[in-house]
Structure 1
Amino acid sequence: MIRRRRREDPVPQEHHDLTHVTPGTVGTPATGGGSALVARAGRSNRTVWVMAIIAVLCLALGLLAGRLVKSPAQIAAESAPPEAGPITIAVERQELSSDVVVRGDALYDGAVSVTVETADLGGPAVVTGAVPQVGDTVEPGSVLLEVTGRPVIALPGELPVYRSLRAGVSGPDVTQLQEALGSLDLDAGNSGTYDAATAAAVAELFTRAGYPAPEADEAARDELAMAQESVTAAEQSLAAAESDLRQAQSGPADSERLSLQGAVNSAQRDLDEARACWAAPAEQSTDPETGQTLTLERSCPRVADLEDAVRIAVAARDEALAAPDVSAQQEMRDAAATALAEARSALEEARLGVLTPLPAGEVAYLADLPRRVDEVAVSRGSAVSGEVLRVSGVTLQIVASVSESDFDLIQEGATATLSTGDLELPATVVQLSRDGSGILPQESGSGSDSGDGFEEFDDGFGGGSSVPTGPTVVLHPDDLTEDQRSQLAGSNVRVTIPVSSTAGEVLTVPVAALTAGPGGESRIEVMRDGAQAPELVEVTTGLAADGYVEVASSVSPLQEGDLVVVGVGGSGDDGDSSQEDDGVQDADGSGR
């Protein structure tokens, strides 16, 4: 067991005599035991310093705790609300504008798919020419694409192609074609029947597009040749029948007629001579033997016989000169004329049959041209099957749904502002629809009602957009650059439509500054300079917008910079006493 030395135990002599100092030396140990005593003294000094530092730290912590720890009474005094006072804001001069602010979708109107009829081709339908690019514009009369060397021309119209058109057919599709050609300044007529004028206009349409006009099939051309031959033969038959009829109608020759008339004249002369002979006195002579007067016997022809001869000659002449019976010749002539008319009618029909047709696969009708190509489903060399293109209107428009109350405030032609990201553009209201009808015309079956007042609609960008079916506003952005168009298309934008304005800067106060008087009049409290209490001033208000109201007039003078009371502060109320910092001051004029 180790026994500790008591403090009062005497220290050995050698420990008391720590050093031995001789002249010329300082602190030189006198012996080996003196060195140990010096080390022990150094450790003792460090302990003193450590204890001093700890004491200072404890003092500092005590002072800090004294500041942080408060008595309940002190806490209650410090948390008590300050004395209540009015909160004021300065009267401002500014222009007020009441706006309708909604969200709208930027869409190209009326996205539709384009298909090509290939049933009449009789072979593979292959794209042989250049195809349009996304963003290209489809104009009326332009070529959408080329299939098997033939163009597919875009024409304005809503009725889809369902048959090829050729001369003689009629119907609503022919009427639509004639109207479409007329819109391109091609005179196709308006008969509703595919006639020569329509065919000529179709031929000119293809010429403008840079392609030969479609031709009739070989059977139609053969029919035309046969009809032409039939007309030639019928014309020859009619000429022969007419010659026979003329010959039959002409009667005897002139020599024969003269001969017959001469016979009548001769018979008449003979009759006249016979009658004269019988009428002359009888000749007498004296008989030489007896001396008697004798009457000689007449030798005149018999008058009766000569009269018969005259009648016979006249009858022969009349019979020869009478109109001949040409009924048979007339029948032959009439039959030949009828055959010729039929042949000519068949020729006209055959000629119509070879007029320029319009194959079903060489035209596509699109409503509201021009349009914009949104999607191309084919490429050069690919086979055509189903949809080849998807197009929409070239007009980028903003479609926004509004409330019934806001709808009644908006008018067509109103200006608006479109905002999306850093882009801010002017726009114009071009269409209003209370039930959403007439907005974004679309092909049948391309939209579906979602049941929430919106219709899911292909927006032309490969996705869907909600098209409102309630009160709807359509806006057109003003002149756009291509970059702006690209940034705006397909986005949802903020639409601000001013519906009323003060048309200049006016005195305004916060709406919160208004109170109602006993008679319903509007009043404000004005804190005048140096006043201890606000002055109650009756005012006439105007337009209210953005939390401010126009002061049209006031009973007491009111000017920009005057302070009006908008509330009471310092009451401990956590409700509406907070105000924005912009221009808001306390009653003493200091900022809060």
Structure 2
Amino acid sequence: MTELLEQNVGPRDEEQAPPSGAASRRRLFIALAVASALLATGGVVASTYVKSPGQLAAETKAPPLSMITATVEKRVLSDTVVARGSVEASSQFQVTPLGGGQGAAVQVVTAVHVKTGDAVRPGDVLLEVSGRPLIALPGAVPIYRDLKPGDHGTDVAQLQAALKSLGYPTTGDDGGRFGPATKQAVAKMYAHLGFDHPVTGVDDQAKLKTAQQAVDTAQRQVDALDAQIHAASGTPATTPPGGKSGASGGGESLATQLAYAKKALLSAQDDYRTTVDTTGPMIPISEAVFLPAFPAQVTAFTAKVGDPVKAPLITLSTGRLGVHSQMTPDRAALLKPGMPVEITVTATGKHVAGKITSIGEPSAADAQADGGQGGGSGGGALTSRVTIDPVDDLGPEWAGKDVQLTVTSASSGADVLVVPLSAVSTGADGVASVVKATKDSSGPPTRRVQVVAGLTGGGFVQVTPVRSGELAQGDQVLVSGS
């Protein structure tokens, strides 16, 4: 048993014998096999990094070119112009009061009664400059001077009509003459608005007093001379015809003196009447704006209380609302009066129909040119003012709105063959053509087809094949590639 165990266990490590020759050969074979495998693996890895010139050329060669095509369509083709515009009244008035209250040294906004977009009615006070009002009055003639007592003219007649429409009649004054009744009406209007009425001058009362004193002095002189004459003759105080009764005791007779005194009285009375007629309540040019139609609207006004007066202080508009657009000349050239227009409010999408009524000549305007597609250019650029008249009256809510204008400048009217603009090319001979992709695999992949180009619109162009039947709906035409 002991011997058997010793045979199975074998010698311990430190007691093992040196390897035999067969074992050495076996180990050498294993080492050679591992080395060979490593060399093979390195060759494979190296082969992925080391490439022949042919391999490099094949791998860097451009991929085969592909064709990008579009389908030939048949439909109605329209050419449209899209632009921006704004809704404005037919007439606009820029108003800047030329002076403040009497004695005011600085023109400054002291009160504001309206804002942009507000409706304006006859008799409304829009704002105050240096404590004095700017009053809206009905009338077609712009105010161009102070309207004062004693003035005559169509502008005075217009003022009288405006006062009457507000409930302040001028009955008794001739039409177009600023008389006592007109003065009274002006004074009543200012009192109703809560302002002291302006007067022709701060010394009006002094002038009236002086004129009255002159009349009184002349009257006393007449009375005194008349009394002397009648006392000397012993007759009642009446002057006989010819004024020859009585004497002064030397020099001019009393009758002559009386005649001169009466003449002086008449002159003093005329001066007094003139003073009365030319002084008193008035309408300064700075305190009224006449507008031809009401209600008007405040189109632009940004001043605040305390701001200095700068022109234009306030812009008002009247009349029927229309649409105006500043377009570049090349786009305006596509339009004609009478063309239909779709007017769309940019913010809400609400739209109405209209038509072009006028196209202005190109001019260097300060207004920004239209930028409907591709933008526009600003101040100084040549633009044409295009006016559009809505078919139906626009409500006041449209005033001042920014709108988009869509104008159909041309239409095929019926279905026509159309292709993208990029599909049509023109050769050196001026002949237009498209490249049609063929369906016959045995022949060339493409064939050039001569066409006549027609109407363009929306990136497409109408095409008619020169040879009938060479191009039809559903065909594919080359738009990119080769």
Letter in 2 for 1:71: G
| Separation (CA, whole Å) in 2 of partners of 1:50 and 1:139 | 108
Q: Which moved more, 1:204-213 or 1:475-484?
A: 475-484
Letter in 2 for 1:410: L
Alignment of 1:53-132 (within 5 A): 58=42, 61-62=45-46, 64-65=48-49, 71=54, 75=58, 89-100=70-81, 114-115=96-97, 117-118=99-100, 120-121=102-103, 129-130=111-112, 132=114
1:402 to 2:328 alignment:
yes
CA contact (8 A) 2:110 2:130 kept: yes
Query: Which of 366, 369, 378 in structure 2 is aligned with 1:466?
Result: 378
1:352 to 2:277 alignment:
yes
| Separation (CA, whole Å) in 2 of partners of 1:353 and 1:484 | 43
Q: CA deviation at 1:398?
A: 5.9
Equivalence for 1:387: 310
Equivalence for 1:502: 412
Letter in 2 for 1:118: G
Partner-residue secondary structure (3-state), 2:302: strand
RMSD (CA atoms): 6.6
Query: Which of 206, 210, 219 in structure 1 is aligned with 2:190?
Result: 206
| Separation (CA, whole Å) in 2 of partners of 1:417 and 1:33 | 111
| Separation (CA, whole Å) in 1 of partners of 2:187 and 2:273 | 19
CA contact (8 A) 1:169 1:193 kept: yes
Equivalence for 1:577: 481
Letter in 1 for 2:409: V
Cα distance change of structure 1 residues 113 and 178 upon mapping to structure 2, 3 Å threshold: same
Equivalence for 2:148: 166
Letter in 1 for 2:361: R
| Separation (CA, whole Å) in 2 of partners of 1:27 and 1:362 | 132
Equivalence for 1:375: 302
Aligned length, in residue pairs:
414
Equivalence for 1:220: 204
Alignment of 1:167-566 (within 5 A): 167-169=149-151, 179=158, 185=165, 194-196=178-180, 199=183, 202-203=186-187, 206=190, 209=193, 211=195, 213-214=197-198, 219-221=203-205, 230=215, 326-328=241-243, 345-359=270-284, 362-363=287-288, 370-379=297-306, 386-387=309-310, 390-392=313-315, 399-403=325-329, 406-412=331-337, 414=339, 415=341, 431-436=358-363, 453=364, 455=366, 466-468=378-380, 470-474=382-386, 497-503=407-413, 505-510=415-420, 542-550=454-462, 556=468, 561-563=473-475, 565-566=477-478
Q: CA deviation at 1:178?
A: 5.6
Partner-residue secondary structure (3-state), 1:71: helix
| Separation (CA, whole Å) in 1 of partners of 2:69 and 2:114 | 66
CA contact (8 A) 2:218 2:264 kept: no
Letter in 1 for 2:133: P
Partner-residue secondary structure (3-state), 2:149: coil
CA contact (8 A) 2:133 2:287 kept: yes
Q: CA deviation at 1:402?
A: 1.9
Q: CA deviation at 1:494?
A: 8.6
Cα distance change of structure 1 residues 147 and 421 upon mapping to structure 2, 3 Å threshold: closer
Identify, as 1 or 2, the structure richer in helix: 1
Q: CA deviation at 1:220?
A: 3.5
Cα distance change of structure 1 residues 387 and 212 upon mapping to structure 2, 3 Å threshold: same
Cα distance change of structure 1 residues 428 and 139 upon mapping to structure 2, 3 Å threshold: farther
Q: Deviations over 1:23-66 (max 9, x none)?
A: 9xx999957889xxxxxxxxxxxx99998996786466356448
| Separation (CA, whole Å) in 2 of partners of 1:514 and 1:200 | 80
Q: CA deviation at 1:352?
A: 1.9
Letter in 2 for 1:543: L
CA contact (8 A) 2:94 2:314 kept: yes
Gaps in structure 2 of 5+ consecutive residues = 17-30, 234-239, 246-254, 369-376
Partner-residue secondary structure (3-state), 2:243: helix
| Separation (CA, whole Å) in 1 of partners of 2:95 and 2:38 | 88
Look at both structures and tell me which one has the larger radius of gyration over its CA atoms: 1
CA contact (8 A) 1:432 1:472 kept: yes
Cα distance change of structure 1 residues 113 and 361 upon mapping to structure 2, 3 Å threshold: closer
Partner-residue secondary structure (3-state), 1:327: coil
| Separation (CA, whole Å) in 1 of partners of 2:362 and 2:431 | 40
Cα distance change of structure 1 residues 357 and 58 upon mapping to structure 2, 3 Å threshold: same
Q: CA deviation at 1:92?
A: 0.9
Q: CA deviation at 1:71?
A: 0.9
Partner-residue secondary structure (3-state), 1:166: coil
TM score, norm. by length of structure 1 = 0.47
| Separation (CA, whole Å) in 2 of partners of 1:552 and 1:193 | 76
TM score, norm. by length of structure 2 = 0.55
Letter in 2 for 1:549: V
| Separation (CA, whole Å) in 2 of partners of 1:87 and 1:550 | 20
